[in-house]
């Protein structure tokens, strides 16, 4: 007798081939048989009219802290994700000396917009070294599987102290120590090493991430430590202001180590074409036999603004700043006063920095997101276009919209990978031969970005709903977030529906799959806020043979675990 039998579903096996109707039988934690199955099972799921897919593998998350207190890893598990990988972009919480805990929390709060109060309250520091961190995670109850990577920022601070935090060059001895720590982490089961070289990443006090100025020698030598073990991957992000020099660093890391590397690829309005240069460089490197990939998002990287969010269009107006300490209800009452509205709209905002200024003033890229959420909005629906039609200023349109839903309304600003009238960016990125879908940042950007829902966007939008451009076949969008992501990191027991593979499975009502509008809730430790986004249509999410989520909600099964890369 089988433990679980999924009957009559349309099976998409994760390998990119045509779907077929079949039954899927599970015994223990693995798929036992696929085909026409008449044997009995302890539990039967009728999947007629539904699609059956591998569980999704999200390789770019920031659950490094949340994994220590939240077994359900929201919001990822609203979206069919059964495996996540942490430690991206050079930030994380291990290794860590006791006196560096506050600093690491401040770095994560600044880089990834995770409330420091929640991290202080939620994390129980039972580790110092990376292997100790893994041992702690191994004992945690988990509903899905968790893999880790070791972050450069933490390693640099651990070895160099204030010198590393203050961007001083590493000595040969310090580089040697960093290599040993990274090797120790990989031997213990980390899936890779990550680094950040972007000005977008700074700590809570505004100091740039420690790895941003690390010399090429430091990065290449650390990468070679993975090569010496012949395991693990590399991941990084850069602004690529000096393209040739920066690209050479990442290329050399992969070439010298003979390990795969993935690099964040985003289109930015300030430099609208540089992403072409990056992808061309990756393609040329692949032609040389160097295993480089672009890590790309399946939709525009969007900022959500509002009274409950981190940013809103009026945050830096003098009169609005006087309301900063008020509760939401008090703010709504004050802002609803016509005199206050007139006063704020007559003021000029204080300039913060070019990126923030762009976010809060680009009314041609501000939209209502809607429910279901629309991440490829028409320029005619922007606040600027709406203002012209109604004879208002765009500021007034934004002001009024911000007060909707009792002050809980959210404004969508597609910051990267979107220019009004041009929808080709994301499509070209996704269809490039050497890109991997990622960058959802699940667990991070709690008050500004809600991209843990990327898996649903890939299926719902790209294979079914897209109208303003070409679609991508469903079998391809499933492969992109199952076998492709798993294989990049060398997680070779999942991502495919095949006999002998791990029984991580989704049963999805594809016809009715719907991504809903995000909302801000305050359920982090110490009452910290975060954006949560749900989806309808994930009827069953199965982890290691047990139903872990039913219609997106946990069943109480905790069949997940820490996974270690121990090839």
The number of residues in the chain equals 567
CA 203 to chain centre: 19
Confidence of residue 300 (pLDDT cuts 50, 70, 90): very high
State how far the Cα of 278 lies from the Cα of 288, in Å rounded to an integer.
15
With H, G, I as helix, E, B as strand and everything else as coil, classify residue 313: coil
- 99-157, pLDDT tens digit by residue? 999 999 999 999 999 999 999 999 999 999 999 999 999 999 999 999 999 999 999 99
- Angle at CA of residue 95, ends 93 and 97, nearest 5°: 95
Is pLDDT of 421 > 80? no
* Structure confidence at residue 185 (pLDDT): 98
Looking from the CA of 316 toward its CB, the CA atoms found within 13 Å total 14
Q: Which of 70-74, 424-428, 460-464, 487-491 has the lowest mean pLDDT?
A: 424-428
Sign for the pseudo-dihedral over CA of 431, 435, 436, 437: negative
- pLDDT at 278 (0 to 100): 97
Phi-psi region of 332 (alpha: psi -120 to 50; beta: other; left: phi over 0): alpha
Among residues 143, 78, 77, the alpha carbon closest in space to that of 513 is found at 78
Question: How many CB atoms are closer than 10 A to CB 567?
Answer: 9
Over residues 439-448, the pLDDT tens digits come to 999 999 999 9
Q: What is the pLDDT of residue 271?
A: 87
Q: Give burial (CB, 10 Å; 0-12/13-18/19+) of 228.
A: exposed
Inform me whether the pLDDT recorded for 423 exceeds 80: no
pLDDT of residue 424: 82
Helix (H, G, I), strand (E, B) or coil at 417: coil
H-helix segments, 324-453: 328-335, 338-345, 354-361, 383-390, 394-402, 404-407, 424-431
CA 322 vs CA 318, 340, 347, 353: distances in Å: 7, 11, 13, 21
The pair of three-digit structure tokens given for residue 86, joined into one six-digit string: 């942490």
Integer Rg of the chain from CA: 23
Q: Which of 230, 243, 239 is nearest to 186 (CA)?
A: 230
Residue written as tokens 């990084």?
236
**Which tokens in the block code for residue 422?**
């041009």
Q: What is the pLDDT of residue 273?
A: 84
- Cβ neighbors of 433 (< 8 A, separation 6 or more) are 283, 286
Superfamily of domain 56-298+422-499: Metal-dependent hydrolases (3.20.20.140)
* CB of 174 closer than 8 Å to CB of 75: no
Q: Where are the domains of the chain?
A: 2-53+506-513+535-554, 56-298+422-499, 303-416
pLDDT given at position 352: 86
Q: What is the pLDDT of residue 100?
A: 97
- Please write the tens of the pLDDT for every residue from 342-389: 999 999 999 988 889 999 999 999 999 988 999 999 999 999 999 999
Contact by Cβ (8 Å): 528, 117: yes
Structure-token pair, residue 545 = 């043979």
In the prediction, which pLDDT does 73 show?
98
Mean pLDDT calculated for residue range 431-459:
97
Question: Which is nearest to 369 in space by CA: 227, 257, 516, 470?
Answer: 516
Q: What is the arrangement of strands in the sheet containing 261-264, beginning at the earlier edge strand?
A: 150-151, 192-197, 233-238, 261-264, 292-296, 435-437
Please compute the mean of the pLDDT values over residues 87-107 and round it to a whole number. 98
> Measured between alpha carbons, how far is 17 from 479 in angstroms, rounded to an integer?
9
Structure tokens at 347: 């003021």
CA distances to 74, 238, 463, 517, 540 from 450, in Å: 11, 22, 21, 10, 22
What pLDDT sits at residue 338?
Answer: 97
> How many of the other CB atoms lie within 10 Å of CB of 141?
11
> What pLDDT was estimated at residue 353?
87
Peptide bond preceding 95 in cis form (omega within 30 of 0): yes
Distances (CA, A) of 215 to 170, 197, 453, 547: 8, 11, 36, 48
Question: pLDDT of 244-293, one tens digit each?
Answer: 999 999 999 999 999 999 999 999 888 888 999 999 999 999 999 999 99
Give the H or E element holding residue 34.
strand 30-35
Angle among Cα 448, 452, 455 to the nearest 5 degrees reads 140
3-state secondary structure string across 191-248: CEEEEEECCCCECCCCCECHHHHCCHHHHHHHHHHHHHHCCCEEEEEECCCCHHHHHH
Which residues, listed in sequence order, are joined to residue 274 by a DSSP beta bridge?
A: none
Which tokens in the block code for residue 404? Answer: 């909707």
pLDDT value, residue 468: 84
CA dist 410 and 427 (Å) reads: 26
What is the pLDDT, as a whole number, of residue 229? 98
Strands (E), 108-198: 145-147, 150-151, 192-197
Q: Which residue has the tokens 């976010």?
A: 359
What backbone phi and psi angles, to 5 degrees, belong to 45?
A: -115, 125
Share of the chain above pLDDT 90, in %: 95
First and final C-alpha spacing in the chain: 33
Helices (H), 232-346: 243-257, 274-287, 318-321, 328-335, 338-345
Give CA–CA dist 307/314, Å, rounded: 9
pLDDT above 70: percentage of residues in the chain: 100
Element of type H or E holding 188: helix 172-188
Say what the pLDDT of residue 543 is: 98
What does DSSP assign to residue 337?
A: S
Hey, what are 273's tokens?
């074409």
pLDDT at 117: 96
Q: What is the pLDDT of residues 480-526, one digit of tens each?
A: 999 999 999 999 999 999 999 999 999 999 999 999 999 999 999 99
What is the distance of C-alpha 304 from the center of its chain? 15
Distance, in Å, from the CA atom of 562 to the CA atom of 567, rounded to the nearest integer, reads: 15
Please give the CATH architecture assigned to the domain spanning 2-53+506-513+535-554: Roll (2.30)
């Amino acid at each position: 007798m089988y433990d679980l039998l999924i009957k009559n579903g349309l099976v998409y096996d994760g390998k990119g081939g045509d779907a077929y109707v079949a039954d899927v039988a599970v015994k223990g934690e693995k798929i036992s048989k696929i085909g026409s199955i008449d044997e009995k099972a302890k539990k039967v799921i009728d999947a007629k009219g539904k699609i059956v897919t591998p569980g999704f593998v999200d390789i770019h998350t920031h659950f490094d802290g949340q994994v220590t207190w939240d077994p359900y890893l929201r919001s990822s598990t609203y979206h069919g994700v059964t495996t996540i990988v942490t430690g991206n972009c050079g930030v994380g919480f291990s290794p860590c000396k006791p006196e560096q805990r506050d600093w690491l929390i401040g770095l994560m709060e600044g880089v990834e917009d995770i409330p420091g109060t929640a991290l202080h309250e939620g994390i129980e520091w039972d580790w110092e070294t990376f292997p100790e961190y893994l041992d702690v995670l191994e004992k945690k109850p988990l509903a899905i599987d968790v893999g880790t990577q070791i972050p450069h920022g933490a390693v640099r601070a651990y070895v160099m102290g204030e010198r590393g935090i203050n961007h001083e060059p590493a000595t040969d001895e310090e580089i040697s120590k960093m290599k040993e720590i990274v090797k120790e982490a990989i031997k213990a089961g980390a899936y890779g090493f990550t680094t950040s070289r972007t000005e977008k990443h700074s700590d809570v006090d505004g100091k740039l991430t420690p790895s941003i100025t690390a010399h090429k020698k430091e990065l290449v030598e650390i990468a070679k430590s993975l090569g010496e073990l012949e395991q693990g991957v590399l991941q990084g992000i850069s602004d690529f202001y000096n393209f040739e020099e920066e690209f050479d660093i990442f290329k050399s890391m992969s070439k010298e180590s003979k390990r795969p590397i993935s690099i964040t690829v985003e289109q930015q309005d300030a430099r609208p074409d540089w992403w072409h240069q990056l992808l061309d460089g990756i393609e040329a490197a692949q032609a040389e036999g160097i295993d480089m990939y672009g890590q790309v998002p399946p939709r525009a990287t969007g900022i959500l603004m509002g009274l409950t969010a981190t940013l809103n269009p009026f945050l830096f107006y003098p009169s609005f700043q006087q309301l900063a300490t008020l509760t939401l209800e008090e703010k709504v009452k004050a802002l609803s006063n016509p005199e206050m509205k007139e006063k704020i709209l007559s003021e000029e905002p204080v300039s913060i920095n070019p990126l923030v200024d762009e976010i809060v003033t680009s009314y041609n890229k501000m939209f209502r997101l809607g429910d279901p959420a629309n991440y490829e909005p028409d320029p005619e629906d922007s606040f600027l276009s709406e203002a012209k039609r109604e004879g208002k200023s765009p500021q007034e349109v934004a002001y009024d919209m911000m007060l909707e839903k009792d002050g809980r309304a959210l404004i969508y600003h597609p910051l990267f990978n979107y220019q009004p009238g041009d929808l080709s960016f994301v499509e070209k990125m996704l269809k490039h031969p050497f890109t991997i879908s990622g960058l959802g940042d699940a667990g991070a950007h709690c008050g500004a970005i809600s991209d843990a829902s990327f898996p649903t966007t890939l299926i719902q939008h790209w294979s079914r709903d897209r109208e303003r451009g070409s679609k991508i076949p469903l079998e391809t969008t499933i492969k992109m977030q199952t076998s492709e992501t798993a294989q990049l990191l060398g997680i070779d027991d999942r991502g495919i529906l095949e006999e002998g593979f791990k029984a991580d499975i989704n049963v999805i009502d594809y016809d009715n799959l719907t991504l809903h509008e995000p909302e801000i809730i305050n359920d982090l430790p110490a009452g910290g806020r975060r954006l949560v986004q749900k989806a309808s249509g994930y009827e069953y999410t199965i982890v290691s043979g047990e139903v872990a989520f039913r219609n997106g909600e946990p069943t109480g099964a905790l069949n997940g675990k820490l996974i270690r890369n121990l090839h």
